Structure 1
Amino acid sequence: MMDSIKHILENGKTRVVIVGGGFAGLKLARQLAKTKYQVVLIDRNNFHQFQPLFYQVATSGLEPSSIAFPLRKIFQKKSNVHYRMADLLEVKSEQNEIYSSVGKLKYDYLVLATGVNTNYFGNKNIEAFSIPMKTVSEAIFLRNSILRNYEKALNESDPEKAANYMSIVLVGGGPTGVELAGALAEMKRHILPKDYPELDFSLMNVYLFEASDKLLNGMSDKASAKAKKFLEKLGVIVRTNARVADYDGLSIRLDDDEEFRSYTMVWAAGVAARPIKGISENAAVHAGRLKVDGFNRIEGMNNVFAIGDIAFQTEGKFESGHPQVAQVGLQQAGNLAKNFNRIVRNKEMRAFRYQDRGTMATIGKNLAVADLPGVKLQGFFAWVLWLFVHLMAIVGVKNRFFILINWVWNYFTSDQSLRVLIRPKKRSFTDKAKQKGKENNVLA
C-alpha cells in the first residue's frame, strides 16, 4: 500500500484536488486560493508552461524560462493551496482517493485537467522518429535538432545529403504547424544564411503537410486562404490533402506513395487524452476525452470533474464537443470555481456556457489572421492584436517584460540571438561504475 502524501493535513476544510497545472488547472487553483477549500494541485512538472509560444522557443526566439513559470512561486502567499510534483496513477472514486507517484491522497472533490498528448494514430515509426511539440522540453529538443543538423550539413560535400539535413517537414496545418512554418521560413531568409554562409540555402525547403483540404480548420475559409497565401509568400511549400503515412527518420511517405526526405519532421497532426486508470474505462469518448455534463462533472460521478482539453462537453452548436483551445479551459475553470463557491453557500450550480471570443494565428512578422466576433482581420493589425493578447496571457510581470524585450529586438534586427545548442551531460562510464559500486555495497 502506498503511503499518504505527507504534510497535507486533514484540517476540517473541504479538499479539492486538481490534477494538471495547465491553463485550466492553474486558473481554477488561483481562483480557489483564499477560499474555505483546501486546494491540492498536482502536476508532473513544477512549472506552468505557455504552449502558444512553444514554436518561438523551438526557433530560438525566446528562452524556455520566459514561457515557463514556477508553480510554487505562484502560490507562495496562498496558505490553503498545496502543490506536489507527481504523476497521477489511478483514481479510486469509490474511496474518494487518488494514487500518485508520491503516494495516495483523499479528496472531497477531484478535478482532472491533465490536458492531451500528441496523437500518432497508432503509427509506431512516426512516434519513434518524428518530433512532437506539446512541452517546453520538446520545443528545446526541436531547437537542438535543427542546430545540430545544420552543423552536420556543413560537413556534407554531397548537396543531396546536405539538403536532407537542412530541409524541415511539418505535419499538421493547425496553429502550431502554421506558426512554426512561418518562423522557420523567416529564419531561412534572415538568420541561418548569416550563421552558415558556407551552405547553399536553395537546398533548404520548409514543407507543411495537412491531411484535410485547408489550413487552420477551426478558423474561417478566409483566414485559412490568407494563411496559406502568407506562408507561400515566405517560401513555405504548403500541401493540403496530403496525409503522411510513414516516416523512417529520413524518408517521409505520403499515402499516395509520394516521398520526401528530411532528417527533421515535426508532428503536430493531432492530440489524444492520456488514459486515466479508474476513470477512462467508463467515461472516455473520442480520442480519450472524458464525457462531462453541463457542470463539467464526469458522467456518472457526483464529485469528479474534468476541464480543459480532456473534457468532452456538448453544448448548443458544439455537438462534437468544444474546440480544444485554451479559452475553453479557462472559461470552464472560471465557471467551476464559481460553482464551488456556490456549493459552500448551499446554492445551486450554474451550467457552463462557452463564449467564443475568437481565434488567432500568427504566420510571421506583420502577418497574422484573426477571426473575432463580428470582424475578421488579416495582416498587420491581426499581428499586433495577436502580440498583445499573448503577452497579457503570460504568467508573471517579469516574464512579460523579457518577452517584450525579445520581441522588440527580433522585430528590428530580424535576429533571434538564442541559437545555442545545449544538450544534457551524460554520466561517464566512471560515474556509472562508481554508482554501481555504491549500490553493491548497500546491498551487501
Structure 2
Amino acid sequence: MDTNLPVSSQPRVVIVGCGFGGLRLAQQLRKAPVQVVVIDRNNYHNFQPLLYQVATGALEADSIAYPIRKIFTGQKNFFYRMADVQRIDSASNTVVTSVGDIRYDYLVLATGSLTNFFGLESIERNAMQIKSIPNALNLRSFIFQNFEKALLTEDPAEKQALLNIVVVGGGPTGVEISGSLAEMRRSVLPKDYPELNLKNMQVYLVEAGPALLGPMSKASQDDAKRYMDELGVRVLLNTSIKRYEDSRAYYSDTDFIRTENLVWAAGVNGAEVPGLPVEAITRNKRITVNSWNQVPGLPNVFAIGDVAFMTTDDMPKGLPMLAPVAQQHADQLAANLQRLLRGESPQDFKYFNKGSMAIVSRNKAVVDLPKDVHFRGFFGWLTWLFVHLMTLVGFRNKVVALIDWAFSYFSTDQALRLIIRPFSRKDMKDDQGKKSAEHRTATTEYNPTPPAIQV
C-alpha cells in the first residue's frame, strides 16, 4: 500500500498527470502544509504545443520535455511515482495504479486529453496522431520513410500516395503542422530529394467546419486561409474524412485523396479515469466539475485542465481545452485546498481570457487578444515565438529551442530529419491492439461502463 511513500501527519494531495495543470498545481503547493504526490506514466513534462515541430524536424524531443524530478528538485513536500492509473476507489480514498495502490486525502485529476476519432475505426487503425512525443517521433520517421520509398517505386499512383500528406482538423495543431510541412516542401525537401519531383507532393488540410481556426476571430480565420493559399496548401472546408483504407482518405462514398500519410488532428476527448460516478462524465468524456473544480458527489476529488468540464455564464458549453485554463484552474485550486485545510469556504473560479494564437509558417502567425485586438504577420510570429519560448520548462530547453529556431530561420533548413526509430503501420496496429487489451481488462474487472483508461 502507498508504494513506499513516507508516512506523514500532513494531508496527502495526489495529482494524476503532470501536464500544464498538474505541474502548476504541484508547484503552487510547495509551501502548503500537505504532502504532494504526482503520478504520471512518463517521467517528463511534455510541452504539447510544440509537438508538431518535433514531428517536422524543427526541434528535437528533448527540447520540449523536462524531467519531472528535476523540476521539483528542492521541493521537500513533493513525491513522484511513474505509473499508469487504472481506476479510482473513492470509497477507500485510493488510486489503483500499475505499481500499487496510493491513498489520498485529496485527489486531483489533471489527466489532459486524448485524440478523438469520432468512432471512425479505419482512421483510428491507420492514421497518425500528434498527442505525445512518441507520436511525434513516429510521424517524423513515417513521413521520411515514405519519401525514401517514393524514390524506389515506379508506380505513379503509389509514388503519389507516398508523397501526399493529408492533415485532418483545421484547429491550431492542424494549421501549424500543415504550414510547417508546406514550408519544408518549398525550402528543405528539394535539397534532400533532388530525384523526386516535389511539385507533385500535395499537402491537404481538411476541415469539417466552414473556416480554419474555428474558435478564433474572423480576421484570424481569413488570414490563416490566405497564408495557407500562399504556401500552396490545399484547404478543403466543410469536408469530412469518413474512412481511410488502401491508401485512400475518403471524403465521400466514392471520392478520395490518395495518401499514405494521414495525420489526424481533428478533435480530443478528456482522458477520464475509471471509477468516477457515471453521472460525472459528460460530453467528450470530460469530468463535470463545479465552480471550484470539485467533482459532484465526491467532496475530496477535483479535476482541472482539459479533462475538467466547467461552465460559466460566458461559456455555457464549457471552458476551452487550453493550457492557460489548466494553469488558472491549478492556481485557484491550490488556494482553495489551503482554504479547505483552514476550514474556510472555497472561492469560485473566474477565467481570465489571455487570448489565442497560431503560427502558420516563417513570419506568418495570427494573434487574438481580449477586447477584439488582432494582429498578424511578422509581429504575430515574433509574439508566438516569445510566448512559447517563455512557457517552456527549463533554461536549457529555452536556449536549445531558441538556437534551433534561429538556425532554421537564417538557413531555411531543418537539421533534424532523422529516422532514428523506424515506424510502420504494423507497429501502430500492434500498439493499438495492446491498448485495446489493457482497456478490456481494466473495464471488465473494474467498471462495467468502458471509459478511456489512458492517463
TM-score by length of 1: 0.93
Work out which of the residue numbers 45, 58, 61 in structure 1 matches 2:58: 61
Matched, 1:359 2:356: yes
Superposed displacement of residue 424, structure 1? 6.5
- Distance in 2 (CA, whole Å) between partners of 1:351 and 1:79 is 29
Matched, 1:418 2:424: no
Superposed displacement of residue 249, structure 1? 4.9
- List structure 1 segments (4+ residues) > 4 angstroms apart after TM superposition: none
Work out which of the residue numbers 209, 212, 215 in structure 2 matches 1:212: 209
2:402 partner SS: helix
Superposed displacement of residue 349, structure 1? 1.3
Show the counterpart of 2:77: 80
Per-residue CA distance 1:147-173 (angstroms, 9 max, x = gap): 100000000223332111111000000
Matched, 1:394 2:392: yes
2:57 partner SS: coil
Residue type at the aligned position of 1:124 = E
Superposed displacement of residue 381, structure 1? 0.8
Show the counterpart of 1:158: 155
- Distance in 2 (CA, whole Å) between partners of 1:249 and 1:260 is 11
Residue type at the aligned position of 1:86 = A
8 Å CA contact retained: 2:138, 2:422: no
Show the counterpart of 1:440: none
- Distance in 1 (CA, whole Å) between partners of 2:333 and 2:96 is 24
Counterparts of residues 31-50 of structure 1 (less than 5 Å):
31-50=28-47
Residue type at the aligned position of 1:391 = L
Q: Which has the higher contact order (CA 8 A, sep 6+)?
A: 2
Work out which of the residue numbers 254, 259, 263 in structure 1 matches 2:256: 259
1:224 partner SS: helix
- Distance in 1 (CA, whole Å) between partners of 2:349 and 2:283 is 21
Residue type at the aligned position of 2:220 = A
Identity within the alignment, %: 47
Matched, 1:190 2:187: yes
Show the counterpart of 2:403: 405
Show the counterpart of 2:435: none
8 Å CA contact retained: 1:113, 1:310: yes
Number of aligned positions between the proteins:
423
- Distance in 2 (CA, whole Å) between partners of 1:249 and 1:350 is 55
Residue type at the aligned position of 2:5 = I
Work out which of the residue numbers 121, 133, 146 in structure 2 matches 1:149: 146
1:6 partner SS: helix
Superposed displacement of residue 347, structure 1? 2.6
Matched, 1:127 2:127: no
2:4 partner SS: coil
Shift in alpha-carbon separation, 1:280–1:45, aligned structure 2, 3 A:
farther
- Distance in 1 (CA, whole Å) between partners of 2:138 and 2:149 is 16
8 Å CA contact retained: 2:141, 2:422: no
- Distance in 1 (CA, whole Å) between partners of 2:93 and 2:391 is 34
8 Å CA contact retained: 1:57, 1:139: yes
- Distance in 1 (CA, whole Å) between partners of 2:193 and 2:423 is 26
Work out which of the residue numbers 323, 339, 344 in structure 1 matches 2:341: 344
8 Å CA contact retained: 1:32, 1:337: yes
1:321 partner SS: coil
Residue type at the aligned position of 1:174 = G
- Distance in 2 (CA, whole Å) between partners of 1:197 and 1:273 is 44
1:91 partner SS: strand
- Distance in 2 (CA, whole Å) between partners of 1:239 and 1:280 is 40
- Distance in 2 (CA, whole Å) between partners of 1:184 and 1:307 is 33
Work out which of the residue numbers 270, 282, 285 in structure 2 matches 1:288: 285
Higher radius of gyration, 1 or 2? 1
Residue type at the aligned position of 1:315 = T
Structure 1 vs Structure 2 CA RMSD: 1.3
8 Å CA contact retained: 1:159, 1:203: no
Show the counterpart of 1:178: 175
Superposed displacement of residue 5, structure 1? 3.1
Superposed displacement of residue 175, structure 1? 0.5
Show the counterpart of 2:20: 23
Unaligned stretches of 5+ residues in structure 2: 425-455
Per-residue CA distance 1:354-411 (angstroms, 9 max, x = gap): 0100000000000000000131011111111000000000000110000000001100
Per-residue CA distance 1:219-275 (angstroms, 9 max, x = gap): 011101110110110010001000110001500101363211000000011111234
8 Å CA contact retained: 1:150, 1:166: yes
Show the counterpart of 2:134: 137
Shift in alpha-carbon separation, 1:251–1:208, aligned structure 2, 3 A:
same
Per-residue CA distance 1:329-350 (angstroms, 9 max, x = gap): 1100011011122223333211
TM-score by length of 2: 0.91
